Amino acid sequence: MRTDDAADKPGSERVLHGLGVSPGIAVGPAFVSDGGEIAVPEYRVAADCVEAERERFAGALAASLKQLKKLKGKAAALPDSAAEEMGYLLDAHIAMLTNSRLVRGVARRIAEERVNAERAVQMEIGEIGDRFAAMGDAYLAARGEDIRVVGARLIRNLTKTPYAALQHVAEGAVILAEELTPADTALMDPRRVAGFAAVLGGPEGHTAIMARALGLPAVLGVAGLLTQVAPGDTVILDGTEGAVVINPRRETIARYEALRETLEREVRQLSRLRRLPAVTRDAVEITLQANLELPRELEQALAAGAQGLGLVRSEFLYMNREDLPDEEEQFEAYRGLVRGMGGRPVTIRTLDVGGDKLAAPLADMQGGEGANPALGLRAIRLSLRDRRLLDAQLGAMLRAGAEGPMRILLPMISSVDEIRKVREALAQVARRLKRRGVKIADPPPPLGVMIEIPGAALAADALAAESDFFAIGTNDLIQYTLAIDRSDEQVAHLYNPLHPAVLRLIQFAVEAALRARIGVSLCGEMAGDPRFTALLLGLGIRDLSMAPGKIGRVKQRVRALDLVAATRRARAIMDQLDDARIASLLDDFNDLA
Ligand code: PEP
Ligand code: MG
C-alpha cells in the first residue's frame, strides 16, 4: 500500500491504493461510515443471567480487540509518520479495552446495577467522557472522544448491528468504511450508491463477491482510508486498478470519466454475444451458468444469456434480520427463481454461513465463533446440527422443484456420512410433505456436493459414489489448500489459483466425477476469469458458473479457443511444479489463441 501525490494540504488530490475487488469507476461525494447511530437496547438482567451477560460482554470485548489489532497491522503499511500516528491511536484504543477502568466499570454495572451490557457500556462511557470534558484540557477532551469511539465499537459488536445507515446515503455517494460485512453490502442499493471502499477485506471474501454481484465498483484493504478524507469530499474509486482518489483535480475526473465510458462500451459489445452459443472453435459446447448472491440478479443472469443458475447462495434469506426464514418464505423465493429461469436448471445451495459470512440469527446457534471460524461449526455442519434449518430448506427446495428443473447443492462437505444424512433427511421431509398432500418434485431433485475442502477433493471417488453431481468451489479450495484467509487483505498476494496443489486437486475431482459419470461444474471465482478458461476446459470441465457480469467475457474466450490445443496445454501445465512456469505457459497460450 502506498500514498501518492505530493500535496498533503487538506483539500488537495491524494491517491490511496488497495485491492480492486469489483471493477468499474465510481465518482461521487464521500459518505464516511462509522456504523451509523445505534439504538442502544436497555433492559434489566435477572440475577441468574448476570454471568451470561458478562460473557456476552467478554465476547464483544474480544471481537473489538481483534478488530483493532487487525487495523493496527494494516496501519503499519502506511507511510512512516502516518503509520506512527495511527499506531499510537490504535494502541490507545487497545489499552482502553485491556483491564481498564472502562472494562471493570462495565462488568461491575452488569453485576451490581443489573443492566444489560450495551447500556452498561453507554453509562460508563458517558461518565468517563464527562469527567474528561470537565477537566477543560484539550488533550484530555480528545481522549474523551476516543473513549466514545471505543464505546461505539463495543456496542456495535454487542448488538451485531449491520450498517443500516447505508440504505439511506445520499444519491450517488461513495461509501468509505473500516470494514463492511456481506450483509452490510447487501443493504446497498446500486441505484443510489456509486461504490465503496474499506480499510479491511480481501479479494475473494464474500463482501467482494457481493460487490461484484451488485455491480458496485469496490476497493478493499485501503490503509489509512478514513484518516485522509472528510464527509462530502469528492472521491473516485477505480475498482479495477484498486485506486481511491480523494479530492481529484478536474483533469483527473475527466480522465476517469473517459475510462468509465470505455468500460461501458466494452460491456455493451460483450452483451451482443448474448444470443451466440458458448462453443469452442472445434465445436464443443460449453455450459455457462450464473451464480446468484441475491434474487435481484436474476434479470442480469437472463440478460447475459446464462444457461442456468449454477450456484444460488441461499444466505441472502438469512441476512439483516432477527428471525429465521421458514419453509414457506424460502419456497416462494426459490419458486421465483425456478419460474424466472423458464425451464433452465436452478442449483440452490443449502445455507453456507460461517467464516466471513455469519448471519445474526444464527450466531447463537453456532455458540460463538470459536478460535478458527473458517474451520468451525458452519455450512453443512450447522445444518446437520440443527435439523430445523435443514428441513425448512429441503422442504422448500422439494416444493420449488415441482415447478421446474432444480438441483440441491451442499456446501463444505468433507465426508460421505454427511451426504447420507442429508439424503435421509430429504427422504423424511419428502414423506412428510406427501402425507400432507403438498406437491413436490418426484423424483426428488439431484443432490450434489461442493468440492471445496482439500480432503473432499482427495476423497472425490468416495463422494462421487454418493452424490449426483459435483460443483468445485475454488474460492474455499484455494483458501484451505494454501492456508490463506480469503478475506484477509494481508495475505491476498499469496492467494494463487495456479498453485500446482490447487490444480491437482481440481484435476483429481474432475477425473473422479468423469469416472463415476456424474456432472461436474466449477463455480468459484476462477470460473469467471477468462485467463483460466482454457486451463479449466483443458482439465475436462465443460460447465462453468460465475457472476452474471462475467459471462460475456468468458463466452468470448470459449469461442476463441480450440479445445484440443487447450487440452494439450493443460497437460503440459500439469507436468509443471513451479507456479511461475505454470503462469507463463498459460499466459503464452492465452496470447496465442
Ligand atoms: C467457493 O468456495 O468457491 C464457492 C463457490 O462458495 P463460496 O464462495 O460461497 O464460499
Ligand atoms: Mg465456499
Q: Where does the pLDDT of residue 304 fall: very low under 50, low under 70, confident under 90, or very high at 90 and above?
A: very high
Which ligand is located closest to the Cα atom of residue 477? 1
Number of neighbours of residue 39 by Cβ within 10 angstroms:
11
**Whose C-alpha lies nearest to ligand 1, atom 3?**
473
State whether the beta carbon of 523 lies less than 6 angstroms from ligand 1.
Answer: yes
pLDDT at 35 over 70: no
CB 226 within 8 A of CB 78: no
Q: What is the predicted pLDDT for the residue at 7?
A: 40
| CATH 3.50.30.10 placement within the chain | 5-33+164-268
Q: What is the predicted pLDDT for the residue at 4?
A: 43
Weakest-pLDDT range from 14-23, 37-46, 320-329, 464-473? 37-46
% of residues, the chain, pLDDT over 70: 93
Q: What is the pLDDT of residues 402-443, one digit of tens each?
A: 999 999 999 999 999 999 999 999 999 999 999 999 999 999
Q: What is the pLDDT of residues 168-216, one digit of tens each?
A: 688 899 999 988 888 788 888 888 899 999 998 888 888 999 899 888 9
Q: Where does the pLDDT of residue 361 fall: very low under 50, low under 70, confident under 90, or very high at 90 and above?
A: low
Q: What is the pTM of this model?
A: 0.81
Judging by beta carbons within 10 Å of its beta carbon (0-12, 13-18, 19+), is residue 443 exposed, middle or buried? exposed
Weakest-pLDDT range from 105-109, 223-227, 385-389? 223-227
| Ligand 1: nearest atom to the Cα of 475 | 3
| CATH 1.10.274.10 placement within the chain | 47-159
Q: What is the predicted pLDDT for the residue at 88?
A: 83
- Of 130-134, 259-263, 346-350, give the range with the top mean pLDDT: 346-350
Cα(503) to ligand 1 centroid in Å equals 16
CA atoms of 550 and 557, how far apart (whole Å)? 11
pLDDT at 342 over 60: yes
| CATH 3.20.20.60 placement within the chain | 275-562
Superfamily of domain 5-33+164-268: Phosphohistidine domain (3.50.30.10)
Q: Where does the pLDDT of residue 2 fall: very low under 50, low under 70, confident under 90, or very high at 90 and above?
A: very low
Cα(40) to ligand 1 centroid in Å equals 35
Q: What is the predicted pLDDT for the residue at 6?
A: 39
Q: What is the predicted pLDDT for the residue at 479?
A: 95
Looking at the DSSP bridge assignments, the partners of residue 209 are none
Q: What is the predicted pLDDT for the residue at 164?
A: 54
Provide the CATH number for the domain formed by 47-159 in this structure. 1.10.274.10
Number of neighbours of residue 544 by Cβ within 10 angstroms:
28
Weakest-pLDDT range from 33-47, 288-302, 562-576? 33-47
Cα(483) to ligand 2 centroid in Å equals 14
Which ligand is located closest to the Cα atom of residue 478? 1
pLDDT at 1 over 80: no
Provide DSSP, 50-108.
HHHHHHHHHHHHHHHHHHHHHHHHHHTTS-HHHHHHHHHHHHHHHHHTSS-HHHHHHHH
| Ligand 1: nearest atom to the Cα of 525 | 3
Provide the CATH number for the domain formed by 275-562 in this structure. 3.20.20.60
Site to probe by mutation for ligand 1, drawn from 451, 476, 541 as the one with most ligand atoms within 8 Å of Cβ, is 476
State whether the beta carbon of 473 lies less than 6 angstroms from ligand 1.
Answer: yes
State whether the beta carbon of 313 lies less than 6 angstroms from ligand 1.
Answer: yes
CB 551 within 8 A of CB 304: yes
Higher pLDDT: 8 or 254? It is: 254
The arithmetic mean of pLDDT across residues 390-402, rounded, is 98
523 is catalytic: yes
Cα(351) to ligand 1 centroid in Å equals 12
